[in-house]
Amino acid sequence: MNEFTEEQIKRYSRHIILQEVGGEGQQKLLSSKVLCIGAGGLGSPIIQYLAAAGVGTIGIVDDDVVELSNLQRQVIHGGNSGIPKVESAKYFVKKLNPDVDVITHNERINPDNISDIINDYDIVVDGSDNFATRYLVNDACVLGKKPLSHGSIFRFEGYVTTILPDEGPCYRCLFEHAPPAGMVPSCQEAGVIGVLPGIIGVIQATEVVKYLLGLGDLLVGRMIYYDALNMSFDEIKIRKNPSCPVCGQNSKIKSIKYENYQDTQLCTY
């Protein structure tokens, strides 16, 4: 086990004194690799808190640039309008915690590159904002046996669930097919209260840290639903669907290469 520097002992002291974490747990975090799909509203708190916790390698996938309209909720980007989000996020992380290695993927995720991208990481966190990308990420993670934290927000509501392939239901068990085009408005069309992605993203980051440390009960087979207007949290049970096309007993999706994931643009709230 590597020795901590004096600066690291001070930086991670609140983790180290936790009996459930300790020095060994902090070393696990420092040696872990997490991939964040999106550096927008959800990606911002996810990246921020994983970096602060000392997750040693954070990969960030996003092909967008920072715009002024992002800054109401995408809090890691500061005044970096006009530059790629992955570069803005990397700059933020390196200022926050120089221990963290940031790998930037300034590209649109698609069926041709996703398997290679997720392969090197311990867990994937999905912060995307369109159905095609969500299904693509889910299917690639299930087929690749890669743990996945999924979060979604809409106006004043959001939810989080954790997907462990072979242990619980996946995104398609919950929503087998995307709704018809135009039925669900995008963030740009419907709006979102600025603090909402912070709450949902922090829950996702919490699940990731718990997974990496092997602590507590994950949201496997469960969904936490949050209503900001009523300030309420509800837990919804999710069952594995035996007929799920990707993780069911007679799954139809054997490879993402042969699926039609239309419009996998990486919108990020």
Contact 234, 245 (CB under 8 A): no
Rounded-to-integer distance, Cα 203 and Cα 125, Å: 11
Is position 187 annotated as part of the catalytic site?
A: yes
Buried b (16+ CB within 10 A) or exposed e, 147-156: bbbbbbbbee
* Alpha carbon distance 200, 58 (integer Å): 19
The residue from 141, 170, 187, 244 that is catalytic is 187
Helix ranges (DSSP H) in the chain: 6-11, 13-16, 22-30, 43-53, 85-96, 114-118, 131-143, 171-174, 187-190, 196-213
Mind telling me the catalytic residues? Answer: 187
